[in-house]
Amino acid sequence: MKKIVTVLILLMANNLFAQNDLLKMMEEEAPSKPTPVFATFKSTRLVNLHTNEQMKAKHLDFRIQHRFQPMQIDKENVYGLYNMFGIDGAVMRLGLEYGVTDKLMIGLGRSNIGKTYDLMAKYKILQQTRGKKSMPISVNYFGNIGINTLEFSDKTRNNFFTSRLSFVNQIIITRKFNDYLSVAISPSMVHQNLVENKSQSHDIYALGLGASIKISRSARFNFEYIPRLNARNEKKLNGTLFYDAFAFGLDIETGGHVFQLHFTNGAGLIEQQFISQNTNKLTLNSLRFGFNLSRVFSLEKEGQ
């Protein structure tokens, strides 16, 4: 009798197992994988600094970066309105940036500061994830080569092409803490083959600091500050000091476009310009209005 009862109980238990635990079996069959964290930032740039965002494979970003002249809104300053708070003049960069793979993007740009062409590449090394065994941060590498094409000031000298070149290496460490806050820390190095002053450093080290706060589903507030770690008291030939770049602004996204509207104390458009060549002190007078406009095109064929 006992035996039969035991067998019966086992039978029932087994049957129950089979009925109820298909969902549990699913968890064994397909354990919930860590999900990659997306949209840490809205765009490949915060304001000036690169973010961990990459162009996806076969996607092309046409990017216009624009910085107007200083607003000169100090009370004492009579030129503010006269120059329409800076929008009478501007510097800009046009860029085409392409995702070779989801991890590698390359780009070509030209800015009218120093008639500079730049070639850039950004590679995703680590991707932040959520879930079990997650990765807490994203890490990207960014590098570029700048080619200044201004005529040499002294043509009688023996000038070298290499004097036109400058280089940037940057590690971008980012973390999206939650829906509302993402931060970036970017140790950066700018190397210039040719500098104005003999006493000037060829290598400038800096730490890019950035934060982005979500305001709504389509808007974010961004802030960035890039303190230089060396050469802090170096001057240009004309005696002007260099200053750290500072910026804050808004991202507004509408479908395939991202509009980035911001205020900065520098005119620089690429790293060699805004990290190491900014001669504008942070004052109300020197703030400039600027914008980045990004339009992304998918070159992927339908149905692939």
Partner 1 sequence: MKNTIIMLVALIGLSISASAQIYHTASGKISFFSKTPVEDIDAKSNSTVVLLNTNNNEVVFKVQNTSFKFPNKLMEEHFNEKYMESEKYPNSIFSGKINETIDYTKDGSYDITVTGKLNIHGVEQLRTFNGKVVVKDQSIQLISDFKVKVADHKIDIPKLVVAKIAEVIDVHVDTTLIPKK
Residues engaged in binding partner 1 (CB under 8 A): 2-3, 6-7, 10-11, 14, 17-19, 22-23, 25-26, 29-30, 32-33, 35-39, 56-57, 59, 130-131, 217-218, 254-256, 296, 298, 300-304
Shortest separation between residue 197's beta carbon and partner 1, angstroms: 45
Question: Is the C-alpha dihedral spanning 67, 73, 78, 84 positive or negative?
Answer: positive
Shortest separation between residue 119's beta carbon and partner 1, angstroms: 23
Token couple for 120: 């850039």
Closest CA to 296 of 74, 71, 44, 84: 44
Shortest separation between residue 183's beta carbon and partner 1, angstroms: 17
Alpha helices in the chain (DSSP H): 2-20, 22-29, 79-82, 271-274
Check: CB of residue 146 under 8 Å from CB of residue 169. no
Shortest separation between residue 263's beta carbon and partner 1, angstroms: 26
Cβ-based nearer residue to partner 1, 38 or 161: 38
Instruction: Reduce the DSSP state of residue 241 to 3 states and report it.
Output: strand
Check: CB of residue 255 under 8 Å from CB of residue 218. no
Query: Could you say which DSSP state residue 177 is in?
Result: -
Cβ-based nearer residue to partner 1, 59 or 93: 59
Cβ-based nearer residue to partner 1, 7 or 241: 7
Instruction: Reduce the DSSP state of residue 49 to 3 states and report it.
Output: coil
Token couple for 121: 């590449």
Q: What is the DSSP string of 265-298?
A: S----SHHHHTT-----SSTTT-EEEEEEEEEEE
Closest CA to 251 of 286, 216, 225, 298: 216
Cβ-based nearer residue to partner 1, 21 or 88: 21
Shortest separation between residue 141's beta carbon and partner 1, angstroms: 21
Token couple for 42: 């809205």
Cβ-based nearer residue to partner 1, 67 or 176: 176
Give dist(CA 41, CA 49) in Å, integer: 12
Shortest separation between residue 255's beta carbon and partner 1, angstroms: 7
Cβ-based nearer residue to partner 1, 88 or 300: 300
Shortest separation between residue 39's beta carbon and partner 1, angstroms: 4
First CA to last CA across the chain, in angstroms?
A: 65
Shortest separation between residue 179's beta carbon and partner 1, angstroms: 8
Cβ-based nearer residue to partner 1, 239 or 255: 255
In a 13 Å sphere around the CA of 194, the CA atoms on its Cβ side amount to 14
Cβ-based nearer residue to partner 1, 19 or 233: 19
Give dist(CA 125, CA 10) in Å, integer: 52
